[in-house]
Structure 1
Amino acid sequence: MSKSKKQVKKEMSENKQNENNKLSEKNEAAVESNVNAATDIAVAESNANAVADVSAAENTDASENSEDAENNEEKINIIEKVKNYIKGIDYPAAIMRLVASYFIVMAYFVFKMKEKINPIDMWQEFIEKMPLGSFIGLIFILFILITNLHDRFKEKTNISAISLFVGAISLSFIFLWKSENYYYCIGFIFLSAIATWFCYNYNGFKFVEYLPKKAVYAIIIVFTICMAAFIAVYTIFKHLIYWTATYDFGIFLQMYHYMAETFEPVTTCERNKVLSHFAVHFSPIYYLLLPFYYIFPSANTLLISQAVLAALGAIPLMLICKNRNFTNLETISFSVIYLFCCSIVGPCFYDFHENAFLPALLMWFFYAIEKKKTVLMYIFMVLLLFVKEDAALYVALIGLYCLFNMEKKYHGLLIFSISSIYFVVVTSLMSAYGEGVMTSRTYGNLMTDYEAGLPEVVKTVVLNPVYFLTQCINEESFRFFLLMLVPLGFMPLLSKKFSRFFLVAPFLLMNLASGYPYAKNTDFQYVFGTSTCLIFCALVNYDDIKSKKKQFVPLFMSVATLCTFATMIGGKTDSYDVYKNGKKEFQRRDALLSAIPEDASVAVFDSFLLCHIAQREEVYLLSEEYLTRPIDTDFVVIKTGYSDQWIADEINIIESNGYKPYGAKNSIMSVYVSPDYKGGK
């Protein structure tokens, strides 16, 4: 059935509408798709931005983390370096440097302040005046300096150990100088010994062994010359300030004047009469110095000669060390022990004595024995016997030592016999024709009969040995015992060989057993010989030690000797300051005394003035015990300021006898001339 136009038209309209609807739906879908696409793009962009932000943040964090890591690594490296540095520190060496710096700086301040503020007597003020900031600062600077030196020379030696040794010795020496307190000295000896042990144990002295032998010997010779010069200079100043006395300088000065004129050892001031000195002490050895005095007739000649004699013993000692194959360190140490020994140097400051020949002659005698040089040995034996009558005791005891130690025993027996016979003959002649042997003065504490002589002493020793021992060691002699043996580390007593004690015997018999107080004093001549024997005995006993660390022994001994030297000898250098401060006054005294004619006889009322006018034929020392002798000399010298009545009486006597004042006025002395004196030259 056919459709109508309206239906067809309607269908076409519906179809068109449907197509439009479909197209509209497609457009909507496309729009929606575009919107969705745009949204997706926006979201994607947003996500991309977010990712970028996250990535940027992550990059920033990574950068920061990298920097932190680098910083941490640097810190770790620094810490590791510090740890490694701390681990690499040689703590003993560092501690030694620190202590050394402290010692050296303290020594500087003690030296700087000691004259005005004594660190012992004024210890509180010393602490208050100590500049703490400077003190700490100097220690720090010195520590850095020593550290640099240590690092630079560590392959050759241990600077830290050496600086500790130098610091301890410097502090000890500076503080002890002129202190004269030996108990303080013992404390500083221990301090120095500890420092010396560390220095030795850590190879601080290693460099000494690298020195050529010739250099070591040259050093010792220089030390010897310097010590001789030191003694000579200060003993001369002692004489210039009128500190030398008639006993024992004036008598020897006059004796040499006579020897130069007549070749006879005559004096007038020793016993206030014309007398040969050999009547008092038989000492032909004096003639060895006569050529020097003849050329240079001065008091200084005798003082210089004595200084040289005392120091000269270091040369044979050095040769003994060489003969025993001692190391450089051992040789130098024993030379220091001898040259700075207070019982070798100290007696030189008590004017002048024949005993000063003993150290050098004994050392040469020991050297000849060691080297088995027979002719040289007997030459020095004779020279020793010529020193003094009691020097035969040293020779006899050394002869007994040789008897048990030499291969040819008869030499020891011969030396003992000759010296014993010599002693008996000389003392007998002195008793018969001279003033006799002063046994009662020396050993009066061991004699019940003062006229019996040495047999009486032997009797006391044999029958009462307990009393004898109490005379050797008591409160008075203990300090002297320490002074002699502490610097030697008591080595003379440390031996299993009884023959070695023959070398110690002079110390026992001539010093400790004596009742004469000056025999137990290192400032007097009675220790010249005994100390030399003790030093040699210490050397031979040391050589017997087998320990690998044995070299510390002479090091300790040398350190102890230096401390003792500073304590006991330092004060003797005051003579220079006294002379410098009073030079004009001393020159006025010299001028007044030198105005007395050389041919005039002089009586002097002061022991210290006589030495400056002793070089003449007649000079007498007047004292209260010699008032029985009439004053008939051409001149009389009196030191003013005396309060003794007997001097006032004597002045009245000489004035009543017509003596008149002579020369310029002086506040120290008065000089009178006899009305009968007509000479003058």
Structure 2
Amino acid sequence: MTLAADPEAPVVRRGLRYRHPLWLALIATLSASAYALLGLVRLATYRASTFDLVIVDQAVRNYAHFRAPYIPVVGAFHDRGLDYLQMADHFSPIYALLAPFYWIHDGPESLIVAQALLFAAAIPFIWLFTRRVLGTVPAYLVAAAYALSWPVAQAIAFDAHEVMFVPVLTAIMIERYHAERHLPAFAAMFGLLLVKEDMGLMVIGFGLYLFVIGDRYRGVCAAAIGLGGALLTRGALIPMMGGDHNDFWAYGQLGPDVPSALLAVARDPLHALLLPFSAEAKVDTLFLLVWPTLLLCLLSPLSLMALPHVLERMLSDRDPWWQADFQYSAFTVVILLLAGVDGLARLIRWTRRTELKLTWSVAVCVIALTLVPRFALDQLYHPSFYKGDEVKSAAAREAVAKVPSGVQVEAVNSLGPALTARATVLLWTGESHGSPWVVADTSRWEFPFGSAEDQANQVNRLASEGYAKVFERDGIVVLHKQV
């Protein structure tokens, strides 16, 4: 048993040459260009951040030079040493695939371009799936809706993250399974396990979906693989590499660990059921996830694939996980969009109203357009975005030029990305790590400080410990100490 499909829709046979590759290439190229432009402008105008762009940059640069993926910026932050492995933080060995980009250009710009290409790479598979189910015109409209979607916009606007691999992998997995090409579908499923330690939950969701639609053997196998992958990475591999599996335990309201949380849910299931709706930000995000499909994703069992990851976010006690402002919603955007396609096909089968195909597809594209001004893609058509804070940018350019190449530097969150290609960057915090160079900002609040005043006080402390100011302009300060 497979997804519901319109019997009048064109059948896509193996080996068939499609008539639309140039249009698809154009959509994907324009999308990737817009995504890359957004990220590169943010980097050039000092709006990227050390946490997380420098983290990924350090890991991929080490892969590119055939070294272990050390991320000293995180090791210093957690006081675990500069030889801290990226896979001890998040289990993302898939980053090694980005190493060739650094052979072309050794800098965080390569990450931004690679991320843009990966997000756009999901478009052909979304088109193929939708064309098979609804027809050609709806396929283009749904592909455009994905390209404009707010989860993708928010992900590309916040540095670079492992989520860049998920839309294309989930699109391949769903589309190839629907085309009864099981080998590439399950290869993509295994690829998800290399993206992040919690992707086993998504694989469990895929197994649940397969079981519900009648493919029970493969469903049970997929769920077992997902569970095994999650237990292996969190319970064994991350601790073995020097990490702590409790670093990202965000369910203190349920208990200190998984067994106690499960027990709490069993004791008070109503409390657990209400948790995903316990804050306004959670409700807003949940609505924004399903609204772009006019709620029709809820008619498809394919939504079960997204359910474990959505619950992982909404049951947590960490505000950023709930909100729509960061990259987390991009993990499930393709799943829910294609579930909307399948949900519509099921609705048409029940009502026999085939005219809904075009109506819904146009509405989905229109909804994506109406959400653009609320999210990050809106910046691309405002001239002020390309200028940024010109005062800060001028001071920042001069400041980072004072830091020599090949040194260790503690940099304020927004300036680390400008130095990471030629220096070992650590995040500047309230605790000194003894680096010979420090680049600080005393006029604007920066993570992880509590206020700009705290940042100014830290600069004063460093000066009292023997650091000399070698540059100061518009609040940006460069300090140096002979070591």
Q: TM-score range by the shorter chain?
A: 0.7 to 0.9
Name which of 398, 406, 412 aligns with 1:599. Answer: 406
Larger radius of gyration: 1
Asked whether the equivalents of residues 153 and 375 of structure 2 are also in contact (C-alpha less than 8 Å), the reply is no
Distance 1:580 1:651, change over 3 A: closer
Write the distance in 2 (CA, Å) between the matches of 1:418 and 1:470.
Answer: 29
SS at match of 1:443: coil
Deviations 1:96-128 (A, max 9, x none): xxxxxxxxxxxxxxxxxxxxxxxxxxxxxxxxx
Kindly state the Cα deviation for residue 488 of structure 1 after the two structures are TM-superposed.
Answer: 0.9
1:310 aligns to 2:133 (yes or no):
no
1:268 aligns to 2:76 (yes or no):
no
Instruction: Point out the more displaced range, 631-640 or 566-575.
Output: 566-575
Kindly state the Cα deviation for residue 436 of structure 1 after the two structures are TM-superposed.
Answer: 2.3
Write the distance in 2 (CA, Å) between the matches of 1:284 and 1:586.
Answer: 34
Which residue in 2 is equivalent to 1:88? none
Which residue in 1 is equivalent to 2:91? 282
Distance 1:541 1:632, change over 3 A: same
Kindly state the Cα deviation for residue 645 of structure 1 after the two structures are TM-superposed.
Answer: 5.9
Distance 1:481 1:422, change over 3 A: closer
Which residue in 2 is equivalent to 1:610? 416
Code of the aligned partner of 1:390: D
Equivalent residue runs for 1:91-170 within 5 Å: none
Equivalent residue runs for 1:297-446 within 5 Å: 297-324=106-133, 326-405=134-213, 409-429=216-236, 430-438=238-246, 441-445=249-253
Distance 1:424 1:504, change over 3 A: closer
SS at match of 1:270: helix
Which residue in 2 is equivalent to 1:4? none
Distance 1:574 1:595, change over 3 A: farther
Code of the aligned partner of 1:615: A
Code of the aligned partner of 1:419: G
Distance 1:658 1:575, change over 3 A: farther
Equivalent residue runs for 1:498-577 within 5 Å: 499-506=301-308, 508-544=310-346, 545-546=348-349, 547-551=353-357, 552-573=359-380, 577=384
Kindly state the Cα deviation for residue 469 of structure 1 after the two structures are TM-superposed.
Answer: 2.2
1:232 aligns to 2:36 (yes or no):
yes
Write the distance in 1 (CA, Å) between the matches of 2:366 and 2:33.
Answer: 22
SS at match of 1:638: strand
Asked whether the equivalents of residues 289 and 305 of structure 1 are also in contact (C-alpha less than 8 Å), the reply is yes
Write the distance in 2 (CA, Å) between the matches of 1:257 and 1:489.
Answer: 42
Kindly state the Cα deviation for residue 586 of structure 1 after the two structures are TM-superposed.
Answer: 2.4
SS at match of 2:439: strand
SS at match of 1:602: strand
Kindly state the Cα deviation for residue 232 of structure 1 after the two structures are TM-superposed.
Answer: 0.9
- Between 1 and 2, higher relative CO (CA 8 Å, sep ≥ 6) is seen in 2
TM-score by length of 2: 0.85
Code of the aligned partner of 1:632: G
Which residue in 1 is equivalent to 2:58? 254
Code of the aligned partner of 2:375: M
Kindly state the Cα deviation for residue 524 of structure 1 after the two structures are TM-superposed.
Answer: 1.4
Distance 1:576 1:353, change over 3 A: farther
Aligned length: 449
User: What's the RMSD between the two structures over aligned residues?
Assistant: 2.6
Write the distance in 2 (CA, Å) between the matches of 1:341 and 1:558.
Answer: 9
Kindly state the Cα deviation for residue 278 of structure 1 after the two structures are TM-superposed.
Answer: 0.9
Code of the aligned partner of 1:241: T
Name which of 609, 628, 638 aligns with 2:440. Answer: 638
Asked whether the equivalents of residues 640 and 668 of structure 1 are also in contact (C-alpha less than 8 Å), the reply is yes
Code of the aligned partner of 1:619: V
Structure 1 residue runs without a partner (length 5+): 1-212, 677-681
Identity %: 21
Write the distance in 2 (CA, Å) between the matches of 1:592 and 1:400.
Answer: 54
Deviations 1:478-528 (A, max 9, x none): 222221111111011125xxx445234135413333332222222312112
Asked whether the equivalents of residues 337 and 558 of structure 1 are also in contact (C-alpha less than 8 Å), the reply is yes
Distance 1:270 1:401, change over 3 A: same
Write the distance in 2 (CA, Å) between the matches of 1:260 and 1:670.
Answer: 32
1:494 aligns to 2:299 (yes or no):
yes
Code of the aligned partner of 2:132: N
Write the distance in 1 (CA, Å) between the matches of 2:171 and 2:435.
Answer: 46
Write the distance in 1 (CA, Å) between the matches of 2:193 and 2:302.
Answer: 21
Structure 2 residue runs without a partner (length 5+): 1-16, 445-450
SS at match of 1:596: coil
SS at match of 1:671: strand
Deviations 1:637-674 (A, max 9, x none): 22133775654554344334443333x55324221222
Instruction: Point out the more displaced range, 295-304 or 569-578.
Output: 569-578
Distance 1:659 1:466, change over 3 A: same
SS at match of 1:608: coil
Which residue in 1 is equivalent to 2:448? none
TM-score by length of 1: 0.61
Distance 1:371 1:502, change over 3 A: same
Distance 1:610 1:406, change over 3 A: same
Write the distance in 2 (CA, Å) between the matches of 1:432 and 1:576.
Answer: 49
Write the distance in 1 (CA, Å) between the matches of 2:459 and 2:331.
Answer: 44
Asked whether the equivalents of residues 400 and 419 of structure 2 are also in contact (C-alpha less than 8 Å), the reply is yes
Deviations 1:65-118 (A, max 9, x none): xxxxxxxxxxxxxxxxxxxxxxxxxxxxxxxxxxxxxxxxxxxxxxxxxxxxxx
